[in-house]
């Protein structure tokens, strides 16, 4: 089997769980465009189908497509399919996405484990070139930098080889790809690809009916590897009122520019969490209790406490 079965249990990654809940809360605001049960969800379920279960139970989405590139795992995927409304399409996303019908509003999460490459950007171009207005797309990629070699150009050359030299901004240097720098550059490349796809799509469309894109997500998190999730909503010019009614900007984690929302899940005991919860939500000037916990961790908890994962061992 693929390495996806050898990595830590997907549903138990704490930062990933926080992000998943945040995304779901944002998706829930799409009701201004259409009832949520009329949306379709397209994602990568793998063996756990965690996102599919959440969106079906919380949002009532019952038209769902899971793209699985590992055909040798067909039996396992079919066995673990949680609901009969989940349709499984086997093949690489570059082959499956073009054969899907895009006449329905969709929630799409292209949740890759891989570093950004030409295939991923091809998927981005295809989806944004065809997706229905009122749809949301999120793209997750591995943004962990390659090992650092002083004086070398391996990181920059690797990036150019993966995405194409023409897509890498000329200002990017080897030193820009340290730590979270790879995430910043990857976000810029994806954002430019989205804008290009939208511009090509508008073509000769008359004023007032052109497609627009608004970024909503710019997450960074690490459950081991550094990861980036970027994306947003596609709408028509004449739907600005519906977009405003969604109130996305009211969500603390929404980011509409290059400044990221960093998800860091501190390790806290139950008693510590309960004590911190007693003072939340808070005014920014208020001091948080438990000063033996580093301020960075207390602040991180305040940003994600509503989504903080709770695990328990139980017999089902």
Residue 86, pLDDT score: 98
Residues 55 and 58: their CA atoms lie apart, in Å, by: 5
Sheet holding 86-90, edge to edge: 86-90, 63-68, 40-43, 106-115, 135-142, 225-236, 211-223, 261-263
Site of tokens 């509503």: 306
Do the Cβ atoms of 115 and 160 come closer than 8 Å? no
Q: Under the phi-then-psi rule, with left for phi > 0, alpha for psi from -120 to 50, and beta for the rest, what region is 31?
A: alpha
Q: Which long-range contacts (CB under 8 A, 24 or more apart) does 270-279 make?
A: 273/301, 273/305, 273/308, 276/301, 276/302, 276/305, 277/305
As to burial, measured by CB atoms within 10 angstroms (0-12 exposed, 13-18 middle, 19+ buried), residue 26 is buried
Residues 290 and 279: their CA atoms lie apart, in Å, by: 11
Instruction: Show me where the domains of the chain are located.
Output: 3-263, 270-307
As to burial, measured by CB atoms within 10 angstroms (0-12 exposed, 13-18 middle, 19+ buried), residue 217 is buried
Residues 6+ apart with CB under 8 A from 30: 36, 39, 105, 107, 134, 136, 233, 246
Question: β-strands 211-223, 261-263: how paired?
Answer: parallel
Longest dimension (CA), the chain: 61
- pTM as predicted: 0.93
What does the pLDDT profile of the chain (316 residues) look like in tens digits? 344 555 556 667 999 999 999 999 999 999 999 999 999 999 999 999 999 999 999 999 999 999 999 888 899 999 999 999 999 999 999 999 999 999 999 999 999 999 999 999 999 999 999 999 999 999 999 999 988 776 667 899 999 999 999 999 999 999 899 999 999 999 999 999 999 999 999 998 998 899 999 999 999 999 999 999 999 999 999 999 999 999 999 999 999 999 999 999 999 999 999 999 999 998 866 788 899 999 999 999 999 999 999 877 766 6
Residues 204 and 200: their CA atoms lie apart, in Å, by: 9
Right CATH for 3-263 from 3.40.50.150, 3.40.50.1970, 3.90.79.10, 3.40.50.720? 3.40.50.150
- 281: which DSSP letter? S
Do the Cβ atoms of 226 and 183 come closer than 8 Å? yes
């Amino acid at each position: 089997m693929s390495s996806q079965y050898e990595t830590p249990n997907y549903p138990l990654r704490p930062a990933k769980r926080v992000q998943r809940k945040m995304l779901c809360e944002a998706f829930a605001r799409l009701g201004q465009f259409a009832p949520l049960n009329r949306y379709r969800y397209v994602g990568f379920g793998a063996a756990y189908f965690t996102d599919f279960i959440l969106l079906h139970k919380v949002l009532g989405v019952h038209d769902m497509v899971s793209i699985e590139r590992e055909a040798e795992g067909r039996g396992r995927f079919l066995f673990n399919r949680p609901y009969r409304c989940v349709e499984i399409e086997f093949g690489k996303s570059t082959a499956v996405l073009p054969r899907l019908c895009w006449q329905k509003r969709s929630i799409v999460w292209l949740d890759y484990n891989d570093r950004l490459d030409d295939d991923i950007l091809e998927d981005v171009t295809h989806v944004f070139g065809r997706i229905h207005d009122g749809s949301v797309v999120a793209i997750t990629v591995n943004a962990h930098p390659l090992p650092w070699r002083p004086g070398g150009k391996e990181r920059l050359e690797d990036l150019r080889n993966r995405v194409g030299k023409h897509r890498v901004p000329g200002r990017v240097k080897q030193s820009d790809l340290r730590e979270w720098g790879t995430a910043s550059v990857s976000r810029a490349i994806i954002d430019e690809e989205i804008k290009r796809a939208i511009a090509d799509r508008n073509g000769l469309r008359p004023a007032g009916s052109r497609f627009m894109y608004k970024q909503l997500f710019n997450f960074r998190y690490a459950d081991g590897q550094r990861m980036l999730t970027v994306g947003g909503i596609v709408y028509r010019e004449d739907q600005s009122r519906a977009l405003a009614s969604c109130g996305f900007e009211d969500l603390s984690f929404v980011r509409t520019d290059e400044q990221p929302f960093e998800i860091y899940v501190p390790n806290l005991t139950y008693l510590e969490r309960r004590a911190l919860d007693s003072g939340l939500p808070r005014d920014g000037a208020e001091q948080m209790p438990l000063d033996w916990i580093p301020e960075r961790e207390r602040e991180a908890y305040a940003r994600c406490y509503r989504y903080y994962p709770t695990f328990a061992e139980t017999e089902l």
